[in-house]
Structure 1
C-alpha cells in the first residue's frame, strides 16, 4: 500500500511568513479589539494567548466570547495583495508533482485563503483532497490541528491506517499529535529560519513568459533546532520525501 502524504500549507508549501502571517495577525488583533471592545494591546495579548492554549485563536474566541467562526475567518483572511506576495520553491513544485502516492492538504487556514494560495501557485491539481479548518469539526465544534481526535477521524475518512500517513509540517506541536496517533511526522524547515529568498511567484511567472527564469537564491542556513524524538525526519526540500516511503 502506498503512502498518503498529508501536507500543511503555510510555511510548508510556501513562504507564509513573508506573504501572510503579519497581515493576518494584525487583522485578528483588529477584529478582537473591535468586536470585544478591548485595547490594541489587550487584543494582541488575547490573540496570542488563545493561539498558545488552543492551537488556534479562533477556538478561544468561539469558546469564551461567542464569536461566529465563519465571520471571524472571513474578516481576518481577506488579505488584499496576497497573490503578489506569494513565493515558493520551483524545485519543491517539481518534486511535489513527481511524488507518488495520494496527496492531501491539511491546513488550519480557511478554505477561501487556501484556494487563493494554491490557485495562484498552480498547485491545486497536485492534490487529491484539500482539508481546511471548516472541515475539522466534531460534534459541532472545530477541532483543528493539533487535535489528535481529528487526525484519527481524518484517517478514517481517507480509509487509510495512520501508519501509512506521513504528515509534512513546520509546526512541532502538530507533529507531536501526528506521532501520537501513529503517523510519521516530517519537519519542513525551508522557511523557518527566515533566510528563504525565493522570487515572488508573480515576478517568476512574468519572467518565464518573457523567456527567462530568475535564478533561485540559495535557501541554505542553520537548521532551527535539533530533531525531537517524535519527528521521523527533517527536510529543507520536498525532493527528500520519496526516500521516506
Structure 2
C-alpha cells in the first residue's frame, strides 16, 4: 500500500511498540485485580470477573470503575502502573524505523503519559515522539470512543487522510478508519486483540512492527 502521503504517524503503546511476548501487561493485569479486590472487597476470582466485564462493557477497566464505583482515575492508574519494566528491551529495527518515518509521530494510548514515558524510555524511543495523547487528555473516554480520535486530530492539527494509526487491538482501528486514516493492525497475538474487530476497518495487517518498518519504502 502506498503510504507516501502520510505525514502523521500514530502509535498505540502496549503490545504495539513492543512485542506482546514481553507480557508486560500481565503485570498490570495482576495489579488491576489487586486494586479491584481491595477497593470492592471481593476475592481474586470475583475481581478477575469484574475486571474483564468492565473491559468489554466500558472499553477499559478504569472507565468501568469510574462509572460504576466513582473511583478516582489517578488512584487507579498510579497503582496499576507501579510495575518493573525489565522485560522490555531496545529493538533497533523499531528505533531506526520510527526515526526514519517522515513527518510527525505521536503515541495514542489508553494508559497515562507518566507510564508511557517510562515505557518509551525503556524502549529507547523517548526522543522520537512529539506528544503522548493519553487517557487524561481523552477525559477518561478510552479508545474506541470515536470522539477521542477527533479530539486528537483537532488538538494536534492532524489531517486524518494523511495519518496512519498502528494498533494491536483491532477494534480500536474502526473509528480511525471512519475518519479516513490508514489503519495498521499489529496482529501479534496480544490478549483480546481481535475482540469486537471489524476486519473491513483494517488496511494493513502486520505481525512484527520492526520487520515491517525495515521493509517500508517511502
TM-score (norm 2): 0.87
The alignment status of 1:114 with 2:82, answered yes or no, reads no
The alignment status of 1:41 with 2:45, answered yes or no, reads yes
Deviations along 1:51-90, one digit per CA (max 9) or x if unpaired, are: 11121100000000010001000011101x31x2113532
Cα pair distance change 1:135/1:146, threshold 3 Å:
same
Return 5+ residue gaps in structure 2 as ranges: none
Equivalent residues, number: 207
TM-score (norm 1): 0.78
Q: After TM superposition, list the pairs within 5 Å mapping 1:137-176 onto structure 2.
A: 137=139, 142-176=140-174
Q: Is the CA contact 1:165–1:183 (under 8 Å) kept in the aligned structure 2? A: yes
Distance 1:76 1:160 in 2: 31
Q: After TM superposition, list the pairs within 5 Å mapping 1:42-81 onto structure 2.
A: 42-79=46-83, 81=84
Q: Is the CA contact 1:99–1:242 (under 8 Å) kept in the aligned structure 2? A: no
Q: Is the CA contact 1:16–1:86 (under 8 Å) kept in the aligned structure 2? A: no
Distance 2:124 2:164 in 1: 23
**Moved segments of 4+, more than 4 Å:** 240-243
Q: Is the CA contact 1:143–1:150 (under 8 Å) kept in the aligned structure 2? A: yes
Distance 1:240 1:148 in 2: 31
**Which residue in 2 is equivalent to 1:192?**
189
Cα pair distance change 1:193/1:158, threshold 3 Å:
closer
**Which residue in 1 is equivalent to 2:213?**
239
